[in-house]
Structure 1
Amino acid sequence: MVLFASFLDGLSRVISTIKGRNSQKDAGKEAAEALAKDARKKELMLSSSGIVKSSKSDNFTSVCSRRGQKGTNQDSSVVWEGFGSQDDMIFCGIFDGHGPWGHFVSKKVRESVPSLLLCNWQENLALTSLGMDFEVDLDRNLHQFDIWKQSYLKTYAAIDQELKQHRKIDSFFSGTTAVTIIKQGENLVIANVGDSRAVLATISIDDGSLVPLQLTIDFKPSLPEEAERITRSKGRVFCLRDEPGVYRVWMPDGKTPGLSLSRAFGDHCVKDFGLVSEPDVTRRNISSRDQFVILATDGVWDVISNLEAVQVVSLTSDREKSAERLVECAGRAWKCKKKGIAMDDISAICLFFHPSPSPQIDPPLIISSHDERFLKQSSSPQPL
């Protein structure tokens, strides 16, 4: 197990002063925040549209966000290359706010998750390392994943509670989704709350085509397990007459808030009635066939399929513009498929795992006639 140098002092204090966990936690939090500040200074952390190119790994990240037609852009994102001062780690997250304070909530969660997660990971790593011989292989990947999972659960619970008590942000009727990934060497850890989505592009063993693999679940009230939890907590799940098929979460009186998510940060009006901020945390070992992962808000997924998104990104010759191209395609798709409906905010992160291949060794793509028509239409010079 690798411990980053910036936290070695903290580790020794945990080992020697277990009883002083509160002061140690403060020290760990300060160390994590200092690392975040240093990453921003070195341009290794990005919280707006742009790119992050690693000089010490094959990671390359493209980010783009565009305001919709509903007012303030409530989407936010973050990329942290060299997460925790480790060359083989990168953190990516995308957040979709909703409600009157949604843009404040999404930005607050974006600012809080990386450093607090890092602090909790360091603490859990130190505690589980005590008395364990890491020279013996005890399925190291599973052990690392369990540490990350417990760190995520602790982090998200703490942030949601902090939002509830925040004096300057009203999260009673406002909240945000959160889909994040951590790439640690060849391991991928995915955590999801809400209906923003992570989709992996991988080369099919069968025919060599580039195919999508959805890494997350869209947590909607229509999912049986989610609906059962909500109704068991006295919340209500039903559709409005003018929105058939769109299930929403309501308070017991059935009047508010009509939330189309079953998991979210914030929205404390229904936290006692089945809504949770608990993330679904999963893992994947990255293979040579896995090419890139897309994180995007539902402004993309409401109008573009997983396959279409993968094809748009893979056919963009300049990786720096891959997220921008996907956002542009989604904007055009909104005009075609959602006429009369105000366009949502649209945001995407594209994280590439390997160096850009030369044209002659690009993996072959199999594109249906429908997909070809979509891509042609998306590439035509229409203004958004």
Structure 2
Amino acid sequence: MAGKQIINKVMEKVCLGSAVTAEVEEGEGMMSKRVTHGYHLVKGKSHHAMEDYLFAEFKQVDNNELGLFAIFDGHMSQEVPNYLRSHLFENILKEPDFWTEAEKAIRRAYRVTDDKILEKSIDLGKGGSTAVTAILINRKKLVVANIGDSRALICRNGEAKQLSIDHEPDKERRDIEGRGGFVSKFPGDVARVDGCLAVARAFGDKSLKDHLSSEPDVVVEKIDDDTEFILLASDGIWHVLSNQEAVDCIKDVKDASLAAKHLVEVALSRNSTDDISVIVVRLQ
């Protein structure tokens, strides 16, 4: 194996490798108390380069053990989701009240990060990205935040429970119009902000920012012994699978990496054409 290939493999293993350089990317990891994670990414059938990026890492902070997981689904951009992968969790964890008021800290960190992306628009370009982040704290608490339509859910006793909220333009039409924008929907297409963007909230998108929100929805979920796994996936999964169908596909696959790969394969078999990213975190 050539030196560059070896470096790329090492970078993928620690979740620093770019999905842009590969048709398929996968990986796995483990933390104490038998919590494992695996991920799988596949480029869609569009003519542009892969725009999905993810982050999946276990981290020790003082006496706390964190699992940090995220999917960033770019649109007209590789730069914005890549920036998010490098900076969003860093910004969240340096908020001084993260440990006491996680929801407020995450909202502030999302806002700070979006402001920085807009400031850097000359370098990062005019595109944007959705985001879904999940922070597992000491295997007892899960904090999920999202903007856009990538999704996070848990499986408990075989049942899917969605923790994120899909931010669709139709659902937020009043807010968009109140900011001076409009929502259009042509036959055969989805609703779009100002005729362009199919999500009502996103990082970046400087030309649309006056009409878009970057305010995340944040949910705190207790993790108990009945919680089997956490699933994060970009909309390439949800175009063709319901929450429960996705859970049913992988609930009996105990290896997290194989579960992520299998879910991607099922979505492809159902003719999903978008970029697809999946993270599975097994808790049992």
5+ residue gaps in structure 2? 1-9, 18-24
5+ residue gaps in structure 1? 1-39, 126-143, 204-209, 251-256, 336-342, 355-384
2:273 is the counterpart of 1:327: no
Deviation at 1:320, TM superposition (A): 2.9
- State the distance in 1 between where 2:34 and 2:81 align: 29
TM-score w.r.t. length of structure 1: 0.65
Describe the shift of the 1:83–1:175 C-alpha distance in structure 2 as closer, same or farther (beyond 3 A): farther
Matches within 5 A, 1:14-163: 49-54=26-31, 56-70=32-46, 71-84=48-61, 86-99=63-76, 102-120=77-95, 123-124=96-97, 144=99, 147-163=101-117
CA RMSD of aligned residues (A): 2.0
- State the distance in 2 between where 1:169 and 1:266 align: 9
Deviation at 1:87, TM superposition (A): 5.0
Indicate conservation of the 8 Å contact 2:254/2:282, yes or no: no
| Letter in structure 1 aligned against 2:83 | K
Q: Deviations over 1:105-162 (max 9, x none)?
A: 1111111111111111xx225xxxxxxxxxxxxxxxxxx5x62112212211111111
| Letter in structure 2 aligned against 1:110 | R
Describe the shift of the 1:344–1:237 C-alpha distance in structure 2 as closer, same or farther (beyond 3 A): same
- State the distance in 2 between where 1:330 and 1:83 align: 34
Instruction: Give the match for residue 249 of structure 1.
Output: 193
The counterpart of 1:268, out of the listed 206, 213, 231, is 206
2:182 is the counterpart of 1:236: yes
Query: 1:62 is paired with a residue of what secondary structure?
Result: strand
- State the distance in 2 between where 1:231 and 1:346 align: 31
Instruction: Give the match for residue 314 of structure 1.
Output: 251
Query: 2:97 is paired with a residue of what secondary structure?
Result: helix
Query: 1:350 is paired with a residue of what secondary structure?
Result: strand
Same amino acid, percent of matched pairs: 30
Indicate conservation of the 8 Å contact 1:177/1:195, yes or no: yes
- State the distance in 2 between where 1:313 and 1:97 align: 26
Q: Deviations over 1:191-231 (max 9, x none)?
A: 0110000111111xxxxxx11111111100111xx211111
| Letter in structure 2 aligned against 1:294 | L
Indicate conservation of the 8 Å contact 2:230/2:282, yes or no: yes
Matches within 5 A, 1:365-380: none
Query: 1:269 is paired with a residue of what secondary structure?
Result: helix
Higher share of residues assigned strand: 2
Q: Deviations over 1:279-326 (max 9, x none)?
A: 111111111111101100000110111111111111325333111111
TM-score w.r.t. length of structure 2: 0.87
Q: Deviations over 1:230-267 (max 9, x none)?
A: 11111001202342xx21110xxxxxx51110000011
| Letter in structure 2 aligned against 1:77 | L
2:280 is the counterpart of 1:304: no
* Structure ID, larger Rg: 1
Instruction: Give the match for residue 217 of structure 1.
Output: 165
Instruction: Give the match for residue 169 of structure 1.
Output: 124
Query: 2:228 is paired with a residue of what secondary structure?
Result: strand
Indicate conservation of the 8 Å contact 2:257/2:280, yes or no: no
Describe the shift of the 1:83–1:105 C-alpha distance in structure 2 as closer, same or farther (beyond 3 A): farther
Deviation at 1:163, TM superposition (A): 1.2
Q: Deviations over 1:333-355 (max 9, x none)?
A: 116xxxxxxx110110001112x
Indicate conservation of the 8 Å contact 1:198/1:215, yes or no: yes
Q: Deviations over 1:58-103 (max 9, x none)?
A: 220011100111131100000120253555311100110012xx21
Indicate conservation of the 8 Å contact 1:163/1:266, yes or no: yes
Query: 1:311 is paired with a residue of what secondary structure?
Result: helix
| Letter in structure 2 aligned against 1:346 | I
Describe the shift of the 1:286–1:317 C-alpha distance in structure 2 as closer, same or farther (beyond 3 A): closer
| Letter in structure 2 aligned against 1:119 | K
Higher share of residues assigned helix: 1
Relative contact order (C-alpha < 8 Å, sep 6+): which is higher? 2
Indicate conservation of the 8 Å contact 2:154/2:230, yes or no: yes
Deviation at 1:46, TM superposition (A): 5.7
Indicate conservation of the 8 Å contact 2:228/2:282, yes or no: yes
Indicate conservation of the 8 Å contact 1:196/1:298, yes or no: yes
| Letter in structure 2 aligned against 1:50 | G
Query: 1:259 is paired with a residue of what secondary structure?
Result: coil
Query: 1:200 is paired with a residue of what secondary structure?
Result: strand
2:147 is the counterpart of 1:184: no
